[in-house]
Amino acid sequence: MANSEPTHQPFGQSPAPNPQPSPNPRGTPDLSPACPIPLSQYPHILLAHGGGGRLMHDLLARMFLPAFRNPLLEAGHDSSVFSAPPGRLAFTTDSYVVRPIFFPGGDIGSMAVHGTVNDLAMSGARPLYLSAGFILEEGLPMDTLWNVVRSMRDAAARCGVHIITGDTKVVDKGKGDGLFINTAGLGVVEHKLDIAPASVRAGDVVLISGDLGRHGMAIMALREGLQFETTIDSDSAPVSGVVQELLSAGVEVHCLRDLTRGGLASTLNEIAYAAKVRIAVEEARVPVREDVHAACEMLGLDPLHVACEGRFAAFVAAKDADLTLAILRGHAEAPAPAIIGEVTTGATPLVVLKGTLGAHRILDMPSGEQLPRIC
């Protein structure tokens, strides 16, 4: 996926068969089917794989195109041309630099798809198309890249989106930490709601779609070698299906926000300041698994500050709070959803947390990035 012209074969004619979808769309991918690049000749990424010549063309034609195959990508042009469906469009972009690139419950490939799809969903958009830009480090094992590509393919199929354009660059060994991915996403907004912080108002009910902190703690437990009775899996998952059902049911959604870097605390503070409201939250209502609590205590972290990759906060009209909760409970991507608070009025925008012992305190944003390289 690059903007160079092919050197010996039309782009879109792959010498490798089209791989079949993996039965393991989440979690660390298995190693079958075998990588389509001849590992006996090229077991690792070379600088030449980003140089615009034969090796680069083989990488595109043998790996990326068969994995992401669709008519728009097969055109092999510098940009994809398509007709947009009726409605407003939503557009987003994100970059993924997670370390390690494989972790319990996911990997950098599936997370890149889920994260971008979820960003579109937070505007109430139905995701349509993604781009994918790969920055590869010289020496990256070819099998590792293939597993990431397969994981992206499976995640895209699960989310109902197509990867229609992209780019590949190779940097010197020691300059890229293996693999970085940039994605952009395009979706269509098929409703008349203005789902944004500015739409939040006093009286709104605040819900979250599931238990908090699993993604951040899955990464940190792996890095720090923490052992628990059960493995903490990342919560990385697409939430667009849940959001579309809320909209189809006529829920008056005022704002949606995914709980990524900075976790619930940052999300609520960002919305409080943007909407100029006060948000009251009850800590006892916020679901956090016991193993995540334990990991946070060991590392001196507050679960409300820990990032998720498959959870979101919803601000809805009070009349629709019970319906929203019922819909969330019907989705595997929304485990343990909960009503956690409400929007109130106040002279100063802030978030007030009622602790488990009944005391109130201000829930502020974390001062910096507590968990680097988790997305």
How is 177-206 classified by DSSP, letter by letter?
SSEEEEEEEEEEE-S----SGGG--TT-EE
Helix (H) or strand (E) segment spanning residue 236: none
Distance between CA atoms of residues 250 and 140, nearest Å: 48
Mean pLDDT of 95-99: 96
Q: Write down the CATH superfamily of domain 47-189.
A: PurM-like, N-terminal domain (3.30.1330.10)
Residue 39 has pLDDT above 90, yes or no: no
How far is Cα 227 from Cα 233, in angstroms, rounded to an integer?
A: 13
What confidence tens digit (pLDDT) does each residue in 45-70 have? 999 999 999 999 999 999 999 999 99
**Which residues are registered as beta bridge partners of 54?**
none
How, if at all, do strands 205-208 and 338-344 pair?
antiparallel
Tell me: pLDDT of 307 over 90.
Answer: yes
Q: Percentage helix, strand, coil, to 5, in the chain?
A: 30, 20, 45
Is pLDDT of 2 > 70? no
Region 340-366 average pLDDT = 93
Residues 289-304 have a mean pLDDT of 92
Percent of the chain with pLDDT over 70: 91
pLDDT of the residue at 28: 43
Angle between helices 108-121 and 240-248 (to 10 degrees): 20
Q: Is the pLDDT of residue 367 over 90?
A: no
pLDDT band at 32 (very low <50, low <70, confident <90, very high): low
Q: Determine the Cα–Cα distance for residues 138 and 100; give it in Å rounded to an integer.
A: 17
| For residue 5, pLDDT beyond 70 | no
Alpha-carbon distance of 74 to 10, in angstroms, equals 10
Greater confidence (252 vs 357) lies with 252
For residue 23, what pLDDT band results from cuts at 50, 70 and 90?
A: very low
Tokens of 299: 């590392």
Q: What is the dihedral of CA 25, 29, 35, 36, to 10 degrees?
A: 10
- The answer for residues whose C-beta is within 8 angstroms of residue 96's C-beta and 6 or more apart is 108, 111, 112, 115, 180, 181, 182, 183, 375
Domains of the chain by residue range: 47-189, 197-362
Specify the DSSP element, H or E, that contains 222: helix 214-224
By the 8 A CB rule, do 303 and 263 touch?
A: yes
- Give tens-digit pLDDT for 174-197: 999 999 999 999 999 999 999 999
- Give the total residue count for the chain: 375
pLDDT at residue number 18: 37
Sign of CA dihedral 52, 69, 183, 153: negative
Q: State which H helix or E strand residue 122 sits in.
A: none
The Cα–Cα gap between 113 and 107 comes to 10
> Is the per-residue pLDDT at 210 higher than 90?
yes
Average pLDDT value over all residues in the chain: 90
Residue 317: what residue type? A
Beta strands in the chain (DSSP E): 88-96, 102-103, 106-107, 126-137, 162-171, 179-189, 205-208, 253-258, 278-282, 312-316, 338-344, 350-354, 360-362
What is the distance between the alpha carbons of residues 237 and 242, in angstroms, rounded to a whole number?
A: 11
pTM of the predicted structure, to 2 decimals = 0.89
Mean pLDDT to the nearest integer, 226-233: 85
Q: What is the mean pLDDT of residues 99-115?
A: 97
Cα–Cα distance, 179 to 191 (Å, whole number): 37
Residue with tokens 């800590």: 283
Structural domain 197-362, CATH architecture:
Alpha-Beta Complex (3.90)
pLDDT class for 369, splitting at 50, 70, 90?
Answer: low
Residue 229 has pLDDT above 90, yes or no: no
| Ranges 11-20, 200-209, 271-280: which has the least confidence | 11-20
Confidence of residue 30 (pLDDT cuts 50, 70, 90): very low
